[in-house]
Each structure stands twice: as structure tokens, then as C-alpha cells.
Amino acid sequence: MNHPFDYDALRRETSWDLARQELDCPAGSPVNIGRICIDRHVDAGRGDKTALIHEDHAGQLREFSFRDIKELSGGWAAFLREQGVVELDRVCLFLERGPELYISFIGILKLGAVVQPLFSAFGEEALFQRIDDSQAKVVITQRKHVGKVRKMRERVPSLETVIVIDHLPGKRPLREGEVAYEMMSSRVGDFVPQETADESPSVLHYTSGTTGKPKGALHVHSSLFAQYLTTKMVLDLKDDDIYWCTADPGWVTGTSYGIIGPWAMGITQVVLDAGFSSKRWYATMARHKITVWYTAPTAIRMLMKDGAALAREHDLSALRHMCSVGEPLNAEGVLWGREAFGLDFHDTFWQTETGAMMITNLPGMTVKPGSMGRPFPAVRAGVIDPVSGEELTDPNTVGMIAIRPPWPSIMRTYWNNTPTFYSKFLRGWYVCGDQASIDEDGYFWFCGRDDDVINTGGHLVGPFEIESALLEHEAVAESAAIGKPDELNMEVVKAFVALKPGFVGDDDLELSIMNFIRKKLSPLAMPQEIEFVDKLPKTRSGKIMRRLLKAQESGEEIGDTSGLEDD
């Protein structure tokens, strides 16, 4: 019998402890994400179930059962131990989305080390900053990316070993401190996972802020309880689902919901290791009979561009549930989803720092197109005054999104940056740094970020990273990077540059600057456009007023300029 959706009842019945009970992890017992996600299922007689279906760019499939992953991740853990990795050491993953990425992730956690996943698209400088900060001991990479690691290696003395997963003997030799590892021939079925505890560090994810270097949000093994329960209740996964999370594990969505949550539930996941095309995505969904799909608004907008008819040309009849995360999901996206798939996209709001979904559209809940939904039933969320920290309880009042700690997956600190971690809390709230209002029905409506961080295609890019790269060019005196509104990616990076005397801002110089920073930044952070200006708007204290540039760019009201230098 179908019960009508009762949000209040769900709030009464839901607590994070439910996850502990269902995963049979009473308080005080060991919690190891690797064991719970993989070994547990094998020990319970479910080892033959498919855990991972991997499709590469050529359409080749590789399947791995939970038993395969238990043995192969055991192989990784044993090998890393041989390499001298011990509990709490950081092991960085700098890999494309091959099976090795997913399986070594589990192996590192079984060993009790901390896994630091990074996008393989990162340039040498982006890689350096994050490894220099984490002081990783090992980087696991592949031939295609080893060059970038070599370039920055001298600058990171902590880095002892670089593991190359696809080395071809006889081809370009490995250098000192590099070792080859062939995952498929290294099974260890009896590796005993470390008895990590609730608060043992697990995953270190870097995220961008307005100022300074990227910040490493440190998570712990018990974060799993939040990822498990939200996976179960929001993604609505059931034992026979075939689930597809389109996110790269370099991004928190790709680990919390592309590895941990679904595998904690023993679900079969599909990974597509290929570039985006609408046709390819639909073909993948049809081929694997995907039932539950978690994706991002930029991807949805790209699919929209190719029309709903294309979706309907494919047999997507298995699909029963769709969710979205990373940026505001426009109402149009939801309406288009109905037309293309006959289903609602369920938006979810959360962050690297929150580790799991905070504001959600639960299955069965009425979706209001354009709204992020309501707090996950175990989450207490509100909007607050940014200065007083007072909760704003009048409906439709804009404030800062804030969540009441604790919850299992809240970051435990920013690596090497405790002051910034503490600055995220106000009057007992964790403050997300985003603005929203809440309507009469308790639905949250996103208004915008409260800082200068650029959200391009769901990926956060700090202006500081781009400006620093620009400043290294001989012609650049000053620079400011902002997010310029963009139909597809929500924002793209635009840079404003003031030149040193003697340089002329022409096309040749723009090209020279672009080529120069391309080597340093990831493709995501690359400006689409550089505008040469005489000088940048600044506050009297010398801070660049990116807000002003941004307003100019989007033709908005410029707002309060009383702090401006030249008033």
C-alpha cells in the first residue's frame, strides 16, 4: 500500500543511529569504510554480486564482483603496506576513472591510510598545491599523468613513492622513487582491514575558497553512516538497482555517492570512463538498464540542448529515479526532465565539507521546480543572519544556509588550517556560505554564494588560484577572476588583467597569457576570456572588489560601492 508522503513523520523516525543499527556497527565498535563497503558483503555470502560495471571510452566492459574487489583492494592494501604506508599516511589518487581508481580507494581505507582523490585533469601547479599541503607520501597515477607528477616532485620532499598502474616494461623506464603495480595480478583475499574507529581520518577532499590555497576537508570513517542513510533514503537504492553516479571521484559526489554510499548498501554501480556526449550517455543508460541516476545541472543542460526527443529514442524504461547536485537546478531543468524521462529530477544540496546531502528532495515528496527541497530528515537546517547568527524564521527571508552540528559526515577540520575551519561556525551553526530563503512549506530556494568562489559546471574554482597563475606572467601587474554567467555551465571564468608598463593588451598577449596559465591550471579553472583594464576596482584596504566586476559583467545593479578606493 502506498502511504502519502509524511515529512514530519519521517523526521520523527529518522536518526543517524539507524545507519549504525542497519550496518551492525554499535557505538565503540570498529568502523572501516573499506570493510563495510566491500568485505562485509562477501563475508555475508553476497560475494558473487556485481559491484562495478566499468565501461571505457571504446565501449569495452569490465565487471567486478564484491569478491573481486575484496581481493583486489586487499592487494592494494598489502602492496601499500610493503611500500611503507602506515595508518594516517596520505595516499593521493591521480587517476582517470578506471577500475584502479575505485578499487585502490577501498584498499587505502582498509589499510587505515587517508585517501586524497584528485582530478587527473589538474595541471602541475594545482597538483603541487594540494600535495604540498597534504604532504602525501604516495601518489598513485598512470602513464598519461606521470609527467605532471615528475615536474612537481622535487618541490614536495614528503612524496616518497609514485605508483604507476599501467607501466609497460621495456617502454619509457621508471625513475627513482617510481614503482609499477599491476592490479589484476595482485589479489590478497585475507587482508584484515584496520580496526579504524568512528573518528579515524578517511578521505581528504580539496575544495576551493576565495582566498588562499585550496582547503583540504578531512573526513572520518564514521561519515559512512550519513552517506549510507542518505543514499538509502534520497537516492532510494534497492538491492536490484543498477545505479549510475556521473561524478568523478576527484569531486566529493564521486566518493560519497559514487563509491561509499552505494557500496555500503551492496549496490551494483556503473562507471562510464568516457567524455560527455548526449548520445553516449543515453546509450549507456539503455545498455546497462540504469534504474537510478545521480547527475549535475550542467550535464542536464547539455542534454537539454540536444532535445528531449533524443532521450526518447533510447529505451530508458528501466530508469525510475533521478537526482541532481552541485549547482542550482533551474526549474526548466526539472520540467525538461519530465518531458524527456517522465520523471522528476530530485535536487540535493550539500558540500565537500558536509560530506553528505543536507537539503534534499526525497522520493515521494512533491518537487517544486527550482527549489532544493527540504532538510534531510536527520538534519536540522535553517537560514541565519550572517552577522548575529540569529535564525531567520519568517518565510521567504534570505539568509545564510546553516546546519546544526553534529552529523556523522561533517568535516573534522581543514587540513593544516584549523582557524579557517573554526571560522565556518557561528552561534552553534555550521555556516555553508550560501544564501537561500525558505518558503511557507519549508522548501529551500537557493539565492547564491556568499563569496567570490566560481561555480563552473558544478566545480568550485577559487579566484585566487587563477589570479596567482596570471600574476606569474611577465606582463601581468594585477588580476581578478570572476564567474561570468553562462547558459550551460552556470558560470565560466573571466579574468581582468592590468598590465605592467610597456605591455600592450592585444590578441597576441592574450594568447601568450592563456598558454602560460594553461600549464598551471586545470581546464576547469581556465578563463574563457581575458579583458585588459587600466586598473582593478579595490577597497580602500586594497581588496579587489570582484563583486563589482561581476555585477558589471552580468548587467546587475552594482550595489554598495562605499568601500571603493576612488570614491
Among the listed residues 460, 461, 513, 524, the single contact to ligand PRX using CB under 6 A: 460
Q: Does 449 bind ligand PRX (CB under 6 A)?
A: yes
Within 291-364, residue ranges assigned H as helices are 297-305, 308-312, 331-341
Is residue 270 within 8 Å of 258, Cβ to Cβ?
A: no
Among the listed residues 101, 372, 411, 438, the single contact to ligand PRX using CB under 6 A: 372
- DSSP lists the bridge partners of residue 324 as 295, 347
Within 435-519, residue ranges assigned H as helices are 463-471, 507-518
Is residue 436 within 8 Å of 450, Cβ to Cβ?
A: no
Give the C-alpha separation, 410 to 422, whole Å.
Answer: 13
Is residue 434 within 8 Å of 444, Cβ to Cβ?
A: no
Q: Closest CB to ligand PRX among 100 and 327?
A: 327
Residue 57 cell numbers, joined: 571510452
Cβ–Cβ contacts within 10 Å for residue 179, how many?
Answer: 14
Rounded to the nearest whole angstrom, what is the least distance from the CB of residue 205 to ligand PRX in the complex? 8
CA angle 6, 12, 16 (to 5 degrees): 115
How many positions of this chain bind ligand PRX (CB under 6 A)?
21
Q: Does 350 bind ligand PRX (CB under 6 A)?
A: yes
Q: Does 248 bind ligand PRX (CB under 6 A)?
A: no
Rounded to the nearest whole angstrom, what is the least distance from the CB of residue 21 to ligand PRX in the complex? 26
Please give the DSSP secondary-structure letter assigned to residue 82: H
Rounded to the nearest whole angstrom, what is the least distance from the CB of residue 551 to ligand PRX in the complex? 18
Among the listed residues 252, 365, 431, 513, the single contact to ligand PRX using CB under 6 A: 252
For residue 481, the SS3 value is: strand
Rounded to the nearest whole angstrom, what is the least distance from the CB of residue 378 to ligand PRX in the complex? 17
Residue 21 cell numbers, joined: 543499527
Q: Does 351 bind ligand PRX (CB under 6 A)?
A: yes
Among the listed residues 328, 375, 399, 527, the single contact to ligand PRX using CB under 6 A: 328
Q: Does 253 bind ligand PRX (CB under 6 A)?
A: yes
Give the residue among 320, 297, 208, 306 at the shortest CA–CA distance from 246. Answer: 297
- Element (DSSP H or E) covering residue 445: strand 444-449
Q: Which span (68-76, 221-229, 402-410, 429-437) binds ligand PRX, by CB under 6 A?
A: 429-437
Burial tier of 501 (Cβ tally within 10 Å: 0-12, 13-18, 19+): exposed
Residue 45 cell numbers, joined: 555470502
Q: Does 434 bind ligand PRX (CB under 6 A)?
A: yes
Q: Does 198 bind ligand PRX (CB under 6 A)?
A: no
Rounded to the nearest whole angstrom, what is the least distance from the CB of residue 562 to ligand PRX in the complex? 27
Q: Which span (45-53, 111-119, 322-330, 414-422) binds ligand PRX, by CB under 6 A?
A: 322-330
Q: Closest CB to ligand PRX among 138 and 372?
A: 372
Rounded to the nearest whole angstrom, what is the least distance from the CB of residue 69 to ligand PRX in the complex? 25
Among the listed residues 34, 326, 333, 382, the single contact to ligand PRX using CB under 6 A: 326
Binding site for ligand PRX (CB under 6 A): 207, 252-253, 325-328, 347-352, 372, 432-434, 446, 449, 455, 460
